[in-house]
């Protein structure tokens, strides 16, 4: 499973990229707001840090305007994936932009049927939002599993990008189901390394090592 970093924080992206933990980046208007930076400038910087796809989201809601914004964003760098909302106009824009050879990430997906439409419109990625479904007492992971099954049934090439990933359990579950990609905030990716038994075991080893009185270097 590929790891995308869900942030526009360049320092956090750089740290994860150096470790090989950033196969790509996803941004959205809320994350651009949080960064406090100009969308074109920060997106260009991010595209220089990671080699993989960097999602940049349009804000128009009508297809022709989405297409124009998508072309503008795609011109920032060759690794841009234009992010479009899963609306009828978004699907129309997806068809045109993928036809022009651009990567497209269709976002705000909350149902298997929406994901089916994204695949038929030729999307490179579809982004089902796990955490936001959990927020309203639905099972976000069931959506990932449903999309996986349908895409496999018909051999759709669109990659399932599990988004709105909020916890380490979400990551493990998405990997078990076979999501192609997951995108999570840097803190969630770093938390994957933590386990209380690792901490406890290390404390014990170090305590015993001190008792040996030895040094390695
Ligand atoms: O990639 C989409 C993601 O940013 C949404 O996450 O936590 O705002 O639901 P969240």
120 lines ligand 1 (CB under 6 A): no
In a domain, 47, yes or no: yes
Catalytic amino acids?
83
Give dist(CA 180, CA 126) in Å, integer: 10
Q: State the residue range of the domain holding 154.
A: 2-212
Residue 176 lies in a domain: yes
Report the CATH number that the domain containing residue 202 is assigned in CATH. 3.20.20.70
Residue 179 included in any domain? yes
How far apart, in whole angstroms, are the C-alpha atoms of residue 113 and residue 132?
A: 17
Ligand 1 pocket member 27 (CB < 6 A): no
Residue pair 86/106 in contact (Cβ under 8 Å)? The answer is yes
Residue nearest to atom 1 of ligand 1 (CA): 163
- Flag whether 217 is in a domain: no
pLDDT digits (tens, 9 = 90+) for 71-104: 999 999 999 999 999 999 999 999 999 999 999 9
Domain count, the chain: 1
For the chain, residues with pLDDT lower than 70 are none
Please indicate, yes or no, if residue 86 is contained in any of the structural domains. Answer: yes
Please check whether residue 90 lies inside any domain of the structure: yes
- Name the residue at shortest CA distance from atom 6 of ligand 1: 164
- CA 208 to ligand 1 centroid distance, Å: 44
Q: Is the CB of 129 under 6 A from ligand 1?
A: yes
Query: Strands 80-85, 54-57: parallel, antiparallel or unpaired by DSSP?
Result: parallel
Q: Is 26 in the pocket of ligand 1 (CB under 6 A)?
A: yes
Within a domain: residue 99?
Answer: yes
**pLDDT per residue over 131-150, tens digit each?**
999 999 999 999 999 999 99
Q: Whose CA is nearest to atom 7 of ligand 1?
A: 164
- Residue 90's alpha-carbon distances to 64, 122, 157, 171, in angstroms, are 10, 12, 19, 27
Report residue 125: phi and psi, to 5°: -130, 150
Rounded Cα–Cα distance for residues 140 and 162 (Å): 9
* 7 Cβ closer than 6 Å to some ligand 1 atom: no
pLDDT for the residue 24: 98
50 belongs to a structural domain? yes
Residue 39 Cα to ligand 1 middle (Å):
18
β-pair partners for 25? 5, 54
Task: Quote the pLDDT of residue 197.
Answer: 98
């Amino acid at each position: 499973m590929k790891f995308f970093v869900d942030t526009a924080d360049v320092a956090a992206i750089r740290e994860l990229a150096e470790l090989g933990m950033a196969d790509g980046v996803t941004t959205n208007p809320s994350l651009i707001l949080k960064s406090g930076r100009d969308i074109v400038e920060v997106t260009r910087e991010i595209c220089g840090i990671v080699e993989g796809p960097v999602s940049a989201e349009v804000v128009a809601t009508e297809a022709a305007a989405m297409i124009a914004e998508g072309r503008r964003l795609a011109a920032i760098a060759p690794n841009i994936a234009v992010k479009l909302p899963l609306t009828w106009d978004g699907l129309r824009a997806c068809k045109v932009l993928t036809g022009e050879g651009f990567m497209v990430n269709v976002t705000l997906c909350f149902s298997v049927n929406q994901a089916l439409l994204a695949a038929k419109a030729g999307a490179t990625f579809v982004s089902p939002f796990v955490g936001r479904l959990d927020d309203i007492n639905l099972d976000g992971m069931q959506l990932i599993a449903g999309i996986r099954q349908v895409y496999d049934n018909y051999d759709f090439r669109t990659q399932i990008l599990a988004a709105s990933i909020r916890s380490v359990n979400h990551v493990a579950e998405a990997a078990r189901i076979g999501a192609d990609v997951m995108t999570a905030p840097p803190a969630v990716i770093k938390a994957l390394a933590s386990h209380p038994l690792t901490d406890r075991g290390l404390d014990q080893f170090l305590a015993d090592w001190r008792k040996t009185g030895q040094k390695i270097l």
